[in-house]
Amino acid sequence: MKIYISMDSAAKALGADQVAAGMAAEIAARGLHAEIIRTGSRGMIWLEPLVEIDRGQGREAFGPVSPADVAALLAGTMAGHGPTETIPFLAKQTRLTFARCGVTDPLSLDDYTAHGGLLGLRRALGLSRAEIVAEVTASGLRGRGGAGFPTGIKWNTVLGAQADQKYIVCNADEGDSGTFADRMIMEGDPFCLIEGMVIAGLGVGATKGYVYLRSEYPDAIAVMNAAVDIAREAGVLGADVLGAGQAFDMEIRVGAGAYVCGEETSLLNSLEGKRGVVRAKPPLPALEGFMGKPTVVNNVISLATVPVVFEKGAAHYAAFGLGRSKGTIPIQIAGNVAHGGLFETAFGMPLGVLIDEIAGGTATGRPVKAVQIGGPLGAYFPRSKFDTPFGYEEFDGQGGLIGHAGIVVFDDTADMLGMARFAMEFCAIESCGKCTPCRIGAVRGVETIDRIAQGDGAAVAVLTDLCETMKDGSLCALGGFTPFPVMSALTHFPDDFATRKEAAE
């Protein structure tokens, strides 16, 4: 009998370690022949701690499991969800990037290769640099961090740059609320990210990589460090990658709690040991990045998707999706939600289907009032926009952005003026201070929203004008996109702003 329990930090936060310990004790007490394997998470967070049991007929899912359930579970008297793969939330997904996450032991390289790992890298080792970059371009893969810039074009710029040293920098500073895909893949399938970075290095001629990983993710830091050691020991990293005569090695670097370091130029400054202040572009990081050298800066999910592009071919990947949003996107459904978690699907699924059908509405059972898509810089969408298909251009056309594909659900008790104020407050706390619209504008934004709350209707025009200034005048997305949540709250939920005014009068 094999027993699978997640070691993902969301599972741990809900008691997975206690369940695993109880399970081990019960197995010993009963003298059972059973092996406990810690995996990543399947992404069905409402079922965590999820326990899967394979009695020789495939994995069956049980959850959420508490330590008190362990005896009944082993005795076979606890009701479950049937075969894991048939749970609708999983069965409806197209898992390409997250194919192994929740299935394998994250730190077993044998498990990784037994499930298709390193096939992409082995194929890339037989290709020229230009062919590698062309494959990524053909896949249509776009930056999953939020900007959606075509990954192949970025790689091509670095490939064409002449320098004695080039770098691959993985942006693992996943600070957006409502997003946890980076964390899940780093904790659940770390070799996938490593393989993607090695392929990137081969493609552009970079021999050194860094993962800039936020300090708020201690579990991911531990898993990634262990995985890099294992990969180096096995020759996946080092002076002679898989014996093919090419070098690539990498390090994990830890951030220090600054949200703005998720912006690529700020991240590079931080990595160099400086204040995480945004740099003006140009020069592009692709030409003058880390230490002034040509640098690929890609999000975790972009890089972790590269192996499957090479394993299955660019055409296979590009066949999924909608319009210019090709492939799959790991959507994270969070906040006040009944069935929250990670749902990887081809681009194009309407927002309302994701929220009402896939995620089952709110956890509190109350009506959905608003959803924020794309983190703290993303717009709040009301129900009237729920037919928007999930894609870069489609969300842009509705005055929003998909960002890192996190959806935060709010029920009808949400105070949208309060959320708009928080957006400005957050921008003020996290501003790097380099440009005035962001540094000063965010502070004035909080004050102006407070005036609206106190009944000053004239302040609405001031807030609107301020948001225009921040949008047009800020150097990066922090100041430039904070107006998205603020203005969408004001536009779509005017009652939350008006009632305060009337109450004050």
Partner 1 sequence: MTRATHPETAEMQAIIDRHLGMEGPLLPMFHALQAEYGYVPAAALPLLADTLNLTVAEVHGVKSFYHDFRDHPAGRHILKICRAEACQAMGANDMSARVLERLGIDWHGTTPDGDVTVEPVYCLGLCACGPAAMVDGRVVGRANSDRLLAEVGA
Backbone angles phi, psi at 380, to 5 degrees: -90, 125
Q: Strand ranges (DSSP E) for 295-414?
A: 295-299, 321-322, 325-326, 328-335, 341-346, 368-373, 380-381, 406-411
Residues 303-362 that bind partner 1 (CB under 8 A): 332-337, 340-341
Mark 358-397 with x for binding to partner 1 (rule: CB under 8 A) and - for no binding: -----x--------x---x---------------------
Kindly report the CA angle at 111 between 109 and 114, in degrees rounded to 5? Answer: 110
Q: How far is the CB of 218 from partner 1 (least distance, A)?
A: 6
Q: How far is the CB of 195 from partner 1 (least distance, A)?
A: 22
What Å distances lie between residue 425 and 12, 141, 465, CA to CA?
31, 34, 18
Q: Is the peptide bond before 49 cis (omega within 30 degrees of 0)?
A: yes
The total of other beta-carbon atoms located within 10 Å of residue 87's CB is 18
Interaction of residue 203 with partner 1, rule CB under 8 A? no
Number of shown-chain residues binding partner 1 (CB under 8 A): 63
Q: How far is the CB of 110 from partner 1 (least distance, A)?
A: 28
Burial of residue 397 (number of CB atoms within 10 Å: 0-12, 13-18, 19+) = exposed
Token pair belonging to 16: 């997975």
Q: How far is the CB of 446 from partner 1 (least distance, A)?
A: 15
Mark 5-24 with x for binding to partner 1 (rule: CB under 8 A) and - for no binding: ----xx-xxx----------
Q: 133: Cβ–Cβ under 8 A, 6 or more apart, which residues?
A: 152, 155, 156, 159, 203, 204
Residue reference for tokens 């807030």: 463
Q: Strand ranges (DSSP E) for 365-488?
A: 368-373, 380-381, 406-411
Interaction of residue 421 with partner 1, rule CB under 8 A? no
Stretch that binds partner 1, among 116-124, 127-135, 254-262, 388-396 (CB under 8 A): 254-262
Choose, by CB under 8 A, the member of 7, 48, 111, 311 that binds partner 1: 48
Interaction of residue 215 with partner 1, rule CB under 8 A? yes
Stretch that binds partner 1, among 4-12, 32-40, 321-329, 349-357 (CB under 8 A): 4-12
Task: Tell me how far apart the 2 most distant CA atoms of the chain are, in Å.
Answer: 76
Stretch that binds partner 1, among 94-102, 223-231, 246-254, 496-504 (CB under 8 A): 246-254
Q: How far is the CB of 498 from partner 1 (least distance, A)?
A: 22
Give 241 or 427: the residue with its C-beta nearer to partner 1: 427
The total number of residues written for the chain in this structure: 505
Beta bridge partners of 245: none
The total of other beta-carbon atoms located within 10 Å of residue 406's CB is 27
Q: How far is the CB of 9 from partner 1 (least distance, A)?
A: 5
Stretch that binds partner 1, among 73-81, 229-237, 238-246, 255-263 (CB under 8 A): 255-263
Residues 422-481 that bind partner 1 (CB under 8 A): 422, 426, 430, 432
Half-sphere exposure of 381 (CA within 13 A, CB side): 30
C-beta separation of 476 from 276 below 8 A: no
Interaction of residue 276 with partner 1, rule CB under 8 A? yes
Given 3-state DSSP classes, what are the helix, strand and coil percentages for the chain, each rounded to the nearest 5? Answer: 50, 15, 35
Give 135 or 264: the residue with its C-beta nearer to partner 1: 264
Amino acid at site 214: R
Stretch that binds partner 1, among 216-224, 279-287, 316-324, 348-356 (CB under 8 A): 216-224
Stretch that binds partner 1, among 18-26, 388-396, 418-426, 474-482 (CB under 8 A): 418-426
Interaction of residue 406 with partner 1, rule CB under 8 A? yes
Interaction of residue 262 with partner 1, rule CB under 8 A? no
Binding residues for partner 1, rule: CB under 8 A, are 9-10, 12-14, 45-46, 48, 174-180, 182-184, 215-219, 251, 253-259, 270-277, 290-291, 332-337, 340-341, 363, 372, 376, 406, 408-411, 414, 419, 422, 426, 430, 432
